[in-house]
Structure 1
């Protein structure tokens, strides 16, 4: 699985705002120590000793350790998972039992950390796979993406069986149900193909929620990567009526609509296949309310992204791998009009595979569910 890049600040010490129900006294100290680890090895020496204490516990420690994963950072999660695996493995190897009722209760409480719930699911499956298989039927909309993926895969398998049995209409219904719930990109692509084969094509551009309508301006000069580092006129002041000196003459904003099924905005189309250039793309996104979202960008070129004039992130790298939702930027939409500005740069390389000068962008919730622009939300707000 390719790594997704969450572009947000890390809390480097401890975890904030989470109150544990109260672990047993003998593991409370080790849990606190492990939850205090951070990047660059912060707290690792103490965590190593604490982990040995946790891992020496019995099956009764499993759920308290899982509860300690709520609100923990990724570094602590890895330590805690290792302790759970060590305890469960030792208990089962010795012919012992896991606390299935307590694990099941924890699993079904969706407020817990998705990774902790997934771990509880895996522990239950190790000793009672039939039960976890039955549970998947009610987990198609689970907030754990891993559990949801398994639930969707179960429905896909059922649809495949109906195809084999000569029941395409029934398979179509199951595939459509799975597609509505799927958030895994590969599952969505697989389901789109299956539905197309059954005469039900899927509009992936719409399904993923990629932004298709843009205004583009360029090319500006990017010799020596100066176009990436320098603040060019469109990022100093966004004026859609503005005219500026570009790389080879005056440049103005122009409309651009992508019809690519994956929402790829190809700068080569309106501006030409150029090298050492910079361009900008902007769009308006209307929200009926203030809401947390993720801006999810994919692309091979250097880029910067602003929301409502605030720089969210930048990436100075050319012609690396590209995938859907490659960069995930948690942010907040304001009620009404929101302005997105993307700067995309092309370097000097002239090899055939370095011709791409493009990006794709969508707005989603934290699970990857697309959020679409609400039209003129300002007018809607006036009516409330």
Structure 2
């Protein structure tokens, strides 16, 4: 069993101090480059490429650290070249570039106009534009309101998040005295928000204003499933055991074996024959409970299946499968494994696990494998999942289940 890995931490003041120490060491060695290494009309600078490229290996981290030290004395007007390097950067590289951009911006007159032009161009890298926003807002806090004025539709999710938060804060303050304005602000938030927590807050505000909201529908949660189980997971050893529905799905594209009369055949389960059954969720966040239909079974495996069509999109479509599950899980979309986590009772949340997938014209399929272990503690009883398909920016994709007769 493995534990979920933690994402790399953003670089803050400690890393900046490390960069300054590295720069000082490079100076002593005579290795600090002259200012003006990077120019917009030249080929990509190899030092910036090294800062952008660390992949977790010790050698790439050393190269990034040394190059960041060498570039740290660039004049402030060249901060845009640092931001341009975000486009091809690894996640670790973006952390280095964030710190480097902050240091370079301090090396001379603050480049406000250049940073604002960079931020205003929504075709730029979303993370780099957020760094530009942070630099501008830190240098002149009064700019924050202007920069975020129309950011509820910004492709940079951190920037959009800040604007949606402001809209919700304003709406909350207007609920009693100016309810129509509060309603308009909360509606804008729920139409444009991408954060599940913000969407939940917007829904609660609208409910206070007597505007019902189907939050699960807004989030794009898939709530109707065909479920079969339990299969055996004694001692939590069957994460990679492919039971018949799984094998059939991977070989034939469907986990269901129809008998001559058209009804799905029973499968051999943990305690005898098991049948497919329809399970749906009425939870406000689309959580699908497996305990009720599968009798709170322990040391067990369940499969959930949905055949679906995609509405209102140009297909084929690059998408993301997003799963929340407190227990071990696997997800296949159109026969491709996109999510796999052998972790039990470590917490759950909306969009806990994300995997890239492709949606096709016509019918698409999703198969989810959800496992339960033998723990009997009260906090280890949940056996459930929630699932949705989204665009890479978190915008939900509307789907319609294809009816399968049972």
Distance 2:235 2:172 in 1: 54
Match status 1:301 vs 2:332:
no
Match status 1:44 vs 2:44:
no
Distance 1:81 1:261 in 2: 38
The structure 1 residue matched to 2:276, chosen from 238, 242, 253, is 253
Closer/same/farther in 2, CA of residues 27 and 329 from structure 1, 3 Å limit: closer
Distance 1:161 1:280 in 2: 45
Match status 1:179 vs 2:196:
no
Kept in 2, the 8 Å contact 1:5–1:326? The answer is no
The structure 2 residue matched to 1:269, chosen from 292, 307, 317, is 292
Residues 262-286 of structure 1: CA deviation (Å, up to 9, x unaligned): 1111110111111111110000121
Match status 1:30 vs 2:47:
yes
The TM-score with structure 2 as length reference comes to: 0.82
Residues 85-141 of structure 1: CA deviation (Å, up to 9, x unaligned): 2223x44xxxx4311111111111122211110010111112233233123121111
Residues 329-354 of structure 1: CA deviation (Å, up to 9, x unaligned): 11111111111001111111111111
Structure 2, gaps ≥5 residues long:
8-37, 249-254, 258-263
Distance 1:157 1:262 in 2: 22
Q: Which residue of 2 aligns with 1:348?
A: 374
The structure 2 residue matched to 1:167, chosen from 178, 185, 191, is 178
The structure 1 residue matched to 2:362, chosen from 312, 332, 336, is 336
Distance 2:122 2:178 in 1: 35
3-state DSSP class of the match of 2:119?
helix
Structure 1, gaps ≥5 residues long:
7-20, 377-384
How far off its partner does 1:57 sit? Answer: 1.3
3-state DSSP class of the match of 2:238?
helix
Kept in 2, the 8 Å contact 1:220–1:227? The answer is no
Kept in 1, the 8 Å contact 2:76–2:104? The answer is yes
3-state DSSP class of the match of 1:70?
helix
Closer/same/farther in 2, CA of residues 176 and 138 from structure 1, 3 Å limit: same
Distance 2:270 2:5 in 1: 34
Q: Which residue of 2 aligns with 1:190?
A: 201
3-state DSSP class of the match of 2:142?
helix
The CA RMSD measured in Å over matched residues stands at 2.1
The structure 2 residue matched to 1:239, chosen from 237, 240, 256, is 256
Distance 1:236 1:375 in 2: 22
Distance 1:27 1:296 in 2: 36
Match status 1:60 vs 2:77:
yes
Distance 2:224 2:197 in 1: 25
Distance 2:44 2:306 in 1: 52
Distance 2:94 2:292 in 1: 45
How far off its partner does 1:236 sit? Answer: 0.8
Q: Which residue of 1 aligns with 2:86?
A: 69
Residues 128-165 of structure 1: CA deviation (Å, up to 9, x unaligned): 3323312312111111111001111222233234335x
3-state DSSP class of the match of 1:297?
strand
Kept in 2, the 8 Å contact 1:59–1:97? The answer is yes
Distance 1:196 1:41 in 2: 52
Q: Which residue of 2 aligns with 1:14?
A: none
Kept in 2, the 8 Å contact 1:59–1:98? The answer is yes
How far off its partner does 1:74 sit? Answer: 0.6
Distance 1:155 1:54 in 2: 39
3-state DSSP class of the match of 2:147?
helix
Match status 1:327 vs 2:353:
yes
Distance 2:236 2:278 in 1: 26
Residues 13-60 of structure 1: CA deviation (Å, up to 9, x unaligned): xxxxxxxx9647698231122233212334122221111111111101
Match status 1:370 vs 2:387:
no
Distance 2:323 2:117 in 1: 37
3-state DSSP class of the match of 2:153?
coil
Q: Which residue of 2 aligns with 1:316?
A: 342
Match status 1:200 vs 2:198:
no
Distance 1:32 1:58 in 2: 18
Distance 1:4 1:108 in 2: 35
